[in-house]
Structure 1
Amino acid sequence: MTEQKPVVLVVDDERDHADGIVEALERLPVKALAVYTGEDAIEVLRSRRVDVVVTDLKLEGAADGLDVLHAARQNSDSTEVILITAYGTIENCKEAIRQGAFDYLVKPLDIDQLRTLVEQASRRAAGAGTRRVQSERSQEHFIFEGIMGDSPAMQRIFEIVRRVAPTNISVLIEGPSGTGKELLARSIHSNSRRRNKAFRPVNCAGLTETLLESELFGHVKGAFTGANTDRKGLFEIADEGTLFLDEIGDMPLTMQAKLLRVLEDGLVIPVGSNKPVSVDVRIISATNHTLNELIGQNKFREDLYFRIKGVNVSLPALRERPEDIPLLVQHFLQEAADEIGSRVSGVTDAAMQVLTNHDWPGNIRQLKNVVRTMVVMCDRDRLDVQDLPPEISRRRQLTGGTAASANLAGVSLNDLEKKAILDTLTKTEGNREKAARILGIGERTLYRKIKEYNL
């Protein structure tokens, strides 16, 4: 497969100057294109991948070079921006660098210097990666806002989401309760071209059929008892945005038929009205059911299934990606500590082992609540096993989820730690790097404990 060339967008309201820069960059292994207004540059940034922007600071029209910089940073933190300026506005460029610009050049341009900067900026853009919303400088493990994980399972999901987010294709997110389906849906929306429009979630299992129809399609005054005014439905409210249909597997069959009609023709009819309203809404659905099984039981329409399943994303249970638990624990710990003003800043190895080896039936939602509770109750600077809630203490799963480890009364902490390390090394076939990651400890700590326990 041929490697894609870095894309360089040149922005200058002097057409000859812009075209000259594009010609000068043709000697580099990049694809350069020119636009002549800030507004056009912002539109390009919203619609396609751009690795490097070379823009004049002063542009005629409503948008100048700083506006282009802000649009670039808003659309992708991996896009680097080089500013071109006259001598008198150097201070503005220095301020722009503090706001995230890569560098600046002073007119008249030194073409060799420009080529060097573009090459450097292209390498940095490639290193940052198009998947990460957090800056490369932060070194955080966030993929889109609030989504994190280094496990192979999550990396596959990030790749799917990176590809599907900028499109209008419908997405079906499957996975157990508490795995973060709505958070993933919000991330898809926030990285889409609809990001500046509404994102509206609705729980299809939490409303009666009548209320769900009114919630989705709206109603007119007098449509039913209590309908005292006209009310727009979520389809109209989310027009040009995204509608998230959570627990769609629990939607009644009659509502499924009405939803399918809307998705096919883009028209909604409010309850009590016969006047259709045109809408443009992207649909993201989620379920903790297996929809194919519901189809076989005649509880879900097959034609609706194929309509909503443009791209399918399956979120794994937390127990299926234990190597991500230390990262999640630290994130939730910091989040809780900041919220309540706690001085807690870390977790002991012993406590992290218990958290990592627990089976987490409530998934990420349960883990977040447990960590928050531990932070609230802890009066030291590190969480320890004594801070674990009773339901976790009673079920320390140290053998990857077997029932035999549930009864641990009378066993010393050292014996538990030794067993956890031995079992994890067995599970990873002696891979110490992977074992340390699963146990939530550093490799040096693992090596020391292996020697200490003579493993």
Structure 2
Amino acid sequence: MLLVDDDAALRSAWRRLLKGVGFEVLEAPDAAVARQLFKAHPVHLVLLDLMLPPEQTPEAGAALLGEFLSARPDAKVVVVSGTGEASLALSLVQRGAYDFFSKPADPEHLLAVLGRAQARMALESRVRELEQSLAAREDQLLGQAPSFLEAKQLAARAAVTDIPILLTGASGSGKEVFARFVHAHSRRADKPFVTLNCGAISPQLLESTLFGHKKGAFTGATADSKGLFAEAHGGTLFLDEIGDLQLDLQVKLLRATESGEVLPVGASRPVQVDVRLVSATHQPLPEQVANKHFREDLYWRLRGIEVALPRLAERPGDVVLLAQHFLNTARSLVPHSVTPALSPATVRCLESYDWPGNLRELRHEMQRALVLSGGRGEIQPEDLSPALRAKAPTEGTDRAALTLEEKIERLEREELTRALAECEGNRSHAAEKLGLSRQGLLNKMARYGLR
């Protein structure tokens, strides 16, 4: 870490304190030396006094803060303010500083602030690793709930075959992510992955979109088109919202899946294709079959293996994990933002809501909360939409009616949930964060029904 202060005696005292708890400390008496050390060393944590020579004005320290964060956005800068500078220090926190405190600093408070900064850096480092993995492979599936893991395991076992897969589940439950997961784990992973939402294209254009067409086959067909089946040759074709497919096209799709041939519109000869078909729908296809809105023979053809995806409300423990993930990925949408944590009150709101929009709704909710938080270190309930706040457990009369033991249990459960989310579900790290043994954490998780 880099210690920036013009008071030599104070730097010496802080250096001894910080080295005593394991920090490697670099010292700078002014902004010029601080710039040199920050550039020459892998500094990730800075303790920065605002009043620096030669200017001896708070603006000098504020300018240095901006330089540090611009050069190394993942660095954590703790601002040290003097009397009368608290409002400026608070504004700097909103602009990216991790935290601030005023002189004279209590040693225990100082170490607590730096300890939290270290923990946040470790968490963000882990998140970056996950995001890099996600960017490199689009098959990342996050979650630990039993219903989710069961669906993931079934999809993984089905992926290595060429059997058609039907993904069912509510809108927003992650069907396309599962389809990409299947493709990435199949023998076709290095071949094209082609997607089509059957409800997003007019029935008049859907046939040529799927099977292709010849030049002049219809008005506007000014050139030959291969169609998505041909584009996906050797790979995977993902047909989303398959329940919206018209009956006449269902016949042609059935023929294509059975024969491995497609007939472009206006063509006289079929084209041979080798495609792995993955379909998805939020509609109850058996009911559509019974109502004669979907062909029974096509239904059984597509339903080689059905993977039913659970709603988010049916995935206990995953909401907080996914919310933190969506906050991390939303940072790219908000310039100069930092990844905030979820306050215990916010966690209660998220876990009490039934999420009718599933993952899609949660992702948009976290993007909104990141913007409204204004750079604060935590997402608070007031950053959430009114629908979520309305579902939050009441903290007034209900809490007052609890016994002391019940209040302690509620607080302990909240802290366990929060630590597990911040540690990405890693129980060893969460136990260390909470000051528990791993077995002690497991015992408490079992007591409160946490997975």
Identity among equivalent positions (%) equals 41
Are the structure 2 counterparts of residues 377 and 436 from structure 1 closer, same or farther at C-alpha, using a change threshold of 3 Å?
Answer: closer
Are the structure 2 counterparts of residues 230 and 433 from structure 1 closer, same or farther at C-alpha, using a change threshold of 3 Å?
Answer: same
Aligned with residue 262 of structure 1, among 256, 263, 267: 256
Q: Is this contact kept in 1: 2:138–2:177, CA < 8 A?
A: no
| Distance in 1 separating the partners of 2:274 and 2:296 | 23
* Equivalence for 2:231: 237
Are the structure 2 counterparts of residues 418 and 376 from structure 1 closer, same or farther at C-alpha, using a change threshold of 3 Å?
Answer: farther
Question: SS where residue 232 of structure 1 aligns?
Answer: coil
Are the structure 2 counterparts of residues 434 and 158 from structure 1 closer, same or farther at C-alpha, using a change threshold of 3 Å?
Answer: farther
Q: Higher relative contact order by CA 8 Å / sep ≥ 6: 1 or 2?
A: 2
Amino acid of the structure 1 residue aligned with 2:371: V
* Equivalence for 2:344: 349
| Distance in 1 separating the partners of 2:397 and 2:325 | 26
Question: SS where residue 218 of structure 2 aligns?
Answer: coil
| Distance in 2 separating the partners of 1:288 and 1:249 | 8
Alignment of 1:298-447 (within 5 A): 298-340=292-334, 341-379=336-374, 380-396=376-392, 398=393, 412=396, 415=399, 436=417
Q: Deviations over 1:233-255 (max 9, x none)?
A: 00000000100010001111111
Are the structure 2 counterparts of residues 371 and 413 from structure 1 closer, same or farther at C-alpha, using a change threshold of 3 Å?
Answer: farther
Higher helix proportion, which one?
Answer: 2
Deviation at 1:215, TM superposition (A): 0.5
Question: SS where residue 312 of structure 1 aligns?
Answer: strand
User: Can you give the 5+ residue segments of structure 1 that lack an aligned partner in the other structure?
Assistant: 1-134, 399-407, 451-455
Task: Give RMSD over aligned pairs.
Answer: 3.6
Q: Is this contact kept in 1: 2:344–2:418, CA < 8 A?
A: no
Deviation at 1:138, TM superposition (A): 6.2
* Equivalence for 1:96: none
Aligned with residue 219 of structure 2, among 222, 225, 235: 225
| Distance in 2 separating the partners of 1:367 and 1:437 | 17
Question: SS where residue 157 of structure 1 aligns?
Answer: helix
Amino acid of the structure 2 residue aligned with 1:412: G
Are the structure 2 counterparts of residues 345 and 270 from structure 1 closer, same or farther at C-alpha, using a change threshold of 3 Å?
Answer: same
Q: Is this contact kept in 1: 2:352–2:391, CA < 8 A?
A: no
Q: Deviations over 1:405-453 (max 9, x none)?
A: xxx6xx639839979x979x89xxxx96998489969786999xx9xxx
**What is the aligned length?**
295
- 1:153 to 2:147 alignment: yes
Highest CA radius of gyration, 1 or 2? 2
Are the structure 2 counterparts of residues 388 and 349 from structure 1 closer, same or farther at C-alpha, using a change threshold of 3 Å?
Answer: same
Deviation at 1:184, TM superposition (A): 0.7
Are the structure 2 counterparts of residues 202 and 367 from structure 1 closer, same or farther at C-alpha, using a change threshold of 3 Å?
Answer: same
Question: SS where residue 322 of structure 1 aligns?
Answer: coil
Question: SS where residue 219 of structure 1 aligns?
Answer: coil
| Distance in 2 separating the partners of 1:375 and 1:417 | 34
Please report the TM-score for the alignment, with normalisation by the length of structure 1.
0.59
Are the structure 2 counterparts of residues 422 and 302 from structure 1 closer, same or farther at C-alpha, using a change threshold of 3 Å?
Answer: farther
Please report the TM-score for the alignment, with normalisation by the length of structure 2.
0.59
